[in-house]
């Protein structure tokens, strides 16, 4: 995985390499940079010993125009791109992804984005126009951040690198406080938790020149009429998932899978086993869970029993990794730093620990089942009436809790409920509806909302954990072809509402692979990413938050209602009737989120313009 970064000021030439050197000083890996006229670009790469990696920034001159690119990500349709671009296919095999993207851009300009199937963010400099062209993949799997200040466009795929530029300051205003406490750990698609630091939205490109900065959406989920019958849908689903996995298994270094025993990871592990003679699989568990775990409607079972079924069924070389509460607690800060923002607390730190362990076992690429639930209908808000019709983010029905924790009258220009509602409406209103059935229309809206918000939050977590640990996490379900096709099949297909009103999560996906997997796996109820239920973890975060709120110099105290937080701690969370972020963030994770906010304010020396 790479980090790209740089800056351009169309009015001034770059005088020396000091600033670009300072930006790459935040990175621990091999760094290269390029300076020409008004542009300075850098590239930092984790060495994974893969072939076809050209040194970046990569520069090419054609028709007296010099183009330079920095690229982060991977293309999964290299062969079709090579055939489209180049007559000599033998030479085409020697082209890296960065070279292919630049060749496509030179030939097709922004239309090149319609050719790519992959995950990417990149920046291309054109010395004739003295401009940069930036882009992010269709589903926004790879990040791209930027800020514009003092006529300078500064960009990076990591916020920490962006902040190394002398023009970029770490600060928050009332708006960022709203993002943190109204929406967090999610954030608006074009925003971050830092003032004036923006995210290029998924499926968008941008151009910065002496005329200013413009962005444009080049791809989004499109409402179409899909008249395929259920059998055709199942057949096409099986092909698309299998084809995506096959493309993402291509590597000259070993690839492993993250196996939870759930439907998604089991399908991918099955398909991966078809591509290799020996498959290594990894699972995660937590010490103390067996004693403390309590079954509930969201997580009715633990994973280990189903992991054992799959590893024996596929005959993989399995690695069962377990972590203690102390491990998760210790990595709270590292997981925040990896993300550059407060996140999902131990839900983040557990994946970071998992990724580090995979790295220690000698693997640099892991296949994950991320992004299947969002498109195939794997969450309860897709079929439970109360959640489906909540008219807000159904995974965060916590307005009261959020209002109570935020310091009263801190954000006089904003209201938490209004901010949430506006954010929700701005997304829902983009959905084109084409059905006379109210349920189908509501499902489509929630489907779109989940992809744009909930999935993005989980993908950010996966990307940051993987990069910090020094591995790549590939997500075969995050193929735009899968998303565009499945987005337009009827909701009744996704939920199996064909003969009765009993919803079956991810019905189409289950049916597509029911003959390939054990029955217990195919019809196992969806279970979220595992988290610890060990009471020791709660004790650790309680000690931390008590220490923070009793320290007058803690920056968190400027933002929270101290008395309310003290009250919920004193009654051990009993007074909390809402979960901060659904079942992923209950009482322990809410405390840990506050801890991460305090860590973030201190670590990044965030100033408050409130």
Specify the pairing of strand 317-323 against strand 280-286.
Answer: parallel
Query: Per residue in 276-304, pLDDT tens?
Result: 989 999 999 998 776 666 656 556 667 88
User: What region, left, alpha or beta, does residue 216 occupy, with left being phi > 0 and alpha being psi -120 to 50 degrees?
Assistant: beta
Q: How many CB atoms lie within 10 A of CB 382?
A: 24
Query: Per residue in 182-192, pLDDT tens?
Result: 999 999 999 99
Q: Name every residue whose Cβ is closer than 8 Å to that of residue 364 and which is 6 or more positions away in sequence.
A: 48, 49, 253, 470, 471, 472
- Which helix or strand (DSSP H or E) is residue 89 part of? helix 89-92
**Angle (CA) 335 341 342, round 5°:** 70
Rounded-to-integer distance, Cα 193 and Cα 168, Å:
14
| Contact by Cβ (8 Å): 123, 69 | yes
Rounded-to-integer distance, Cα 604 and Cα 85, Å:
45
Q: What are the distances in angstroms from CA 463 to CA 57, 341, 459, 474, 599?
A: 22, 13, 6, 9, 21
Q: How many CB atoms lie within 10 A of CB 236?
A: 19
Token representation of residue 487: 């987005």
Neighbouring-strand partners of residue 42 = 5, 33
pLDDT of residue 532: 84
pLDDT at 45 over 80: no
Rounded-to-integer distance, Cα 369 and Cα 349, Å:
18
Active-site residue, from 2, 112, 123, 371: 2
Q: Name every residue whose Cβ is closer than 8 Å to that of residue 247 and which is 6 or more positions away in sequence.
A: 76, 77, 117, 476
Rounded-to-integer distance, Cα 182 and Cα 175, Å:
10
Query: Per residue in 536-553, pLDDT tens?
Result: 999 999 999 999 999 999
- Which helix or strand (DSSP H or E) is residue 582 part of? strand 580-583
pLDDT at 410 over 50: yes
* Structural Rg of the chain based on CA atoms: 24
- Cα of first residue to Cα of last residue in the chain, in angstroms, is 36
Spell out where 444-527 has E strands.
472-474
Distance of alpha carbon 532 from the chain centroid: 22
Give the pLDDT mean for 418-447. 97
Q: How many CB atoms lie within 10 A of CB 51?
A: 10
Pick the most confident of 17-31, 119-133, 521-535: 119-133
Q: Which residue has the higher pLDDT, 44 or 132?
A: 132
Angle between helices 480-487 and 438-449 (to 10 degrees): 160
Query: Per residue in 485-537, pLDDT tens?
Result: 999 999 999 999 998 889 999 999 999 999 999 999 999 987 777 778 889 99
| Contact by Cβ (8 Å): 517, 266 | yes
| Whether 2 is catalytic | yes
Q: Answer positive or negative: Cα dihedral of 505, 506, 512, 515.
A: negative
Q: Name every residue whose Cβ is closer than 8 Å to that of residue 539 and which is 6 or more positions away in sequence.
A: none
pLDDT of residue 87: 57
Q: What value does the mean pLDDT of the chain take?
A: 93
Q: If you write DSSP's letter for every residue of 53-87 in order, what string do you get?
A: ---SSEEEEETTEEEEEEEEEEES-HHHHHHHH-S
Token representation of residue 55: 């040194």
Among 427, 430, 374, 452, which residue's Cα sits nearest to residue 201? 452
Q: Is 182 exposed, middle or buried (0-12, 13-18, 19+ CB in 10 A)?
A: buried
Q: Which residue has the higher pLDDT, 92 or 562?
A: 562
Specify the pairing of strand 280-286 against strand 171-173.
Answer: unpaired
Among 492, 589, 483, which residue's Cα sits nearest to residue 544? 589
Rounded-to-integer distance, Cα 531 and Cα 585, Å:
10
Give the pLDDT mean for 99-124. 96
The reported pTM is 0.95
pLDDT of residue 30: 54
Give the pLDDT mean for 398-421. 96
pLDDT of residue 49: 45
Query: Per residue in 325-378, pLDDT tens?
Result: 999 999 999 999 999 999 999 999 999 999 999 999 999 999 999 999 999 999
- Go through the domains of the chain in sequence order and give each one's CATH number: 2-178+188-217 (3.60.20.10), 230-522 (3.40.50.620), 541-609 (no CATH)
| Contact by Cβ (8 Å): 355, 466 | yes
pLDDT at 95 over 90: no
């Amino acid at each position: 995985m790479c980090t790209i970064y740089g800056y351009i000021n169309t009015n001034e030439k770059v005088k020396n390499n000091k600033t670009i050197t300072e930006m790459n000083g935040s990175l621990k890996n091999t760094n290269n940079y390029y300076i020409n006229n008004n542009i300075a670009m850098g590239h930092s790469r984790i060495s994974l010993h893969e072939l076809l990696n050209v040194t970046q920034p990569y520069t090419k001159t054609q028709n007296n125009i010099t183009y330079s690119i920095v690229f982060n990500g991977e293309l999964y349709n290299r062969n079709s791109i090579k055939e489209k671009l180049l007559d000599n296919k033998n030479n085409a095999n020697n082209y890296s992804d960065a070279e292919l993207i630049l060749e496509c851009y030179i030939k097709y300009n922004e239309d090149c984005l319609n050719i790519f199937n992959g995950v990417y963010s990149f920046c291309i400099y054109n010395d004739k126009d003295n401009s940069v062209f930036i882009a992010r993949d269709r589903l926004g799997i790879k990040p791209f951040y930027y800020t514009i200040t003092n006529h300078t466009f500064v960009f990076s795929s990591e916020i920490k690198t962006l902040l190394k530029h002398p023009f970029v300051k770490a600060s928050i205003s009332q708006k960022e406080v709203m993002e943190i406490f109204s929406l967090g750990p999610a954030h608006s698609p074009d925003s971050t938790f830092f003032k004036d630091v923006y995210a290029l939205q998924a499926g968008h490109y941008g151009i910065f020149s002496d005329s200013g900065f413009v962005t444009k959406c080049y791809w989004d989920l499109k409402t179409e009429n899909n008249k395929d019958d259920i059998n055709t849908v199942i057949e096409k689903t099986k092909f698309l998932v299998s084809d995506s996995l096959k493309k993402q298994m291509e590597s000259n270094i070993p690839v492993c899978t993250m196996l939870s025993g759930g439907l998604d990871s089991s399908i991918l592990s099955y398909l991966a086993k078809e591509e290799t003679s020996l498959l290594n699989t990894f699972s995660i568990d937590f010490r103390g869970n067996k004693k403390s775990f309590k079954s509930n409607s969201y997580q009715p079972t633990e994973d280990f029993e189903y992991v054992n079924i799959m590893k024996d069924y596929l005959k993989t070389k399995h690695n069962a990794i377990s972590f203690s509460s102390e491990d998760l607690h210790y990595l709270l800060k590292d997981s925040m730093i990896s993300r550059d923002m407060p996140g999902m607390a131990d839900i983040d730190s557990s994946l970071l620990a998992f990724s580090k362990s995979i790295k220690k076992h000698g693997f640099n690429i892991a296949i994950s089942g991320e992004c299947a639930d969002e498109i195939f209908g794997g969450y309860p808000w897709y079929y439970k009436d109360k959640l489906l019709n909540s008219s807000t983010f159904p995974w965060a029905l916590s307005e009261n809790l959020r209002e109570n924790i935020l310091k009263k009258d801190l954000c006089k220009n904003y209201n938490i409920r209004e901010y949430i509602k506006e954010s929700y409406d701005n997304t829902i209103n983009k959905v084109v509806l084409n059905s006379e059935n109210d349920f189908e229309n509501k499902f489509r809206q929630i489907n779109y909302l989940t992809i744009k918000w909930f999935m993005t939050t989980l993908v950010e977590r996966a990307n940051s954990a993987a990069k910090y640990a020094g591995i790549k996490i590939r997500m075969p379900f995050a193929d735009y072809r899968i998303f565009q096709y499945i987005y337009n099949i009827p909701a009744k297909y996704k939920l199996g509402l064909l003969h009765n009103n009993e919803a079956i999560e991810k019905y189409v996906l289950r049916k597509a692979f029911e003959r390939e997997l054990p029955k217990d796996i195919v019809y196992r109820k969806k279970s979220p990413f595992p988290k610890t239920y060990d009471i020791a973890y709660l004790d650790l975060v309680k000690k931390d938050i008590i220490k923070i709120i009793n320290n007058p110099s803690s920056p968190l105290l400027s933002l929270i209602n101290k008395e309310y937080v003290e009250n919920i701690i004193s009654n051990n969370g009993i007074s909390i009737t809402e979960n901060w972020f659904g079942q992923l963030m209950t009482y322990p994770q809410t405390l840990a989120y506050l801890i991460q906010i305090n860590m973030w304010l201190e670590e990044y020396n965030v100033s408050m313009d409130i």
